[in-house]
Structure formats: C-alpha cells, structure tokens
Structure 1
C-alpha cells in the first residue's frame, strides 16, 4: 500500500509503464459545490454581456481538485498504490450547484509486499 494517500499515483492511461499490478476495483471521489448569492448575481449579469464567469471557473477548478483528493483517499483506504484510467464527470444540480466526480480503477503493484 502507498505510504500515504498523497503518494497514490493517478493516471488517465490504462497501464503504468514498468509496473505489473492487480486490480482492486473501482474508486470514486465526489464533491458538490455552489457559489454565494453575489457570485450568482454576477454570473447572471455576465450572461447578458457574455464572457467568462470567473467565479464559476474557479469553483470548477476547486471541485476538480477536491474530487481527485477524495479519489486518492478512497484508493488508499482500499490498499491501492495507484489509480489507472482516471476520468472526470460533472453535472449541474439546480441553477447554482455543480457536482464533479473523479473515478478510476484502483490497483496494487505486484512487486510490493
């Protein structure tokens, strides 16, 4: 098992070069976030004139980072060394909430005790 959850390797590839491993199973990291009412008002005004809604871009970056962190924790709790085939999915809940999930396959290296 990895030394701590922060050392869990996460890759979008199907294999890790130079490693053989055993599949443990699927793992997920999920977060749902929303911005405050003032950000929502600003976003509404931005919809009229167009352009990037920086508060929501920031929220999505934070959500992605939190989802990956939770994915690492879930893999660590299962005794994994890495996660392969990591992907993201996201969706809106209502008009002011965003849900982001990071998911993949937890694996344990064969060459470790």
Structure 2
C-alpha cells in the first residue's frame, strides 16, 4: 500500500483552493458565497468488520478501515469542491470534516466550509 492509501487531500490540479484557515495568504476575499458541503455515507463491509474485530483483540492499526475512511473523506472533499465550483467559488475557507455514525449501518462523512471568491493581492 502506498502513501495515498493512508492520506489524502487536494490534488495540485484543482481549480478550487481548499484551506482550513480563515484566510489565504496573498489573497483577499472578494465575495462570500456561503456554506458548502460534500456528504457521503459508507456502509461497513462484512469482511472488514470481521477483520477489524479480530485485530481489535490483539491490538494494532485497523489498516482496512483506515483505507476506507481515507477514501470516504476524499470523496466528501471532491463533492465539496464540486459544490463550490457550481456556486461560482474559486476557494473554500475554514474547511472541516464531521464524521458520525449513520443509524448503525455506516459512517457519514461531511466536508464543509465557506465558499468564496478570492483575488490575488
């Protein structure tokens, strides 16, 4: 497994800058569009659940579940960027993730932030 299996984030080719900060150095906010979010819900795979249950008895990282969560977060972020672009934004400030259990059948991951139009200063 490579580095991308256990980490994520925005690609270099994205037209929308996504940051967790309130501002982006070298830019000023020209227009605030508002909140945007990307949401996905993933069900648990029975095989990974059994493997995770066994692994939890002896300890250690649950690599299968880690990989699934990375994929889920990346999908939520892709959807966030799509929403921002569709509303005319070129950036999302204050991006955050929220992860919750969805009715005991899966995990809900929501990426959210404030869509804005930035200009270079």
TM-score category of the 2 structures, normalised to the smaller one? 0.7 to 0.9
Structure 2 distance, partners of 1:110, 1:64, is 28
**2:23 equivalent in structure 1:** 15
Task: Report the more deviating stretch, 35-44 or 59-68.
Answer: 35-44
Structure 2 distance, partners of 1:49, 1:96, is 25
SS of the residue aligned with 2:27?
A: coil
Q: Does 2:30 align with 1:30?
A: no
**1:67 equivalent in structure 2:** 76
Matched-pair contact (CA < 8 Å) for 1:40–1:96: no
Superposed displacement of residue 20, structure 1? 1.9
State the Cα RMSD in Å. Answer: 1.8
Deviations 1:33-90 (A, max 9, x none): 1342111111111122222111110111001111110000000010001000111110
Give the count of matched residue pairs.
107
**1:85 equivalent in structure 2:** 94
**1:104 equivalent in structure 2:** 113
Superposed displacement of residue 110, structure 1? 5.1
Matched-pair contact (CA < 8 Å) for 1:34–1:59: no
Question: Mind listing any 5+ residue stretches in structure 2 that lack a counterpart?
Answer: 1-12
TM-score (norm 1): 0.85
Structure 2 distance, partners of 1:38, 1:94, is 20
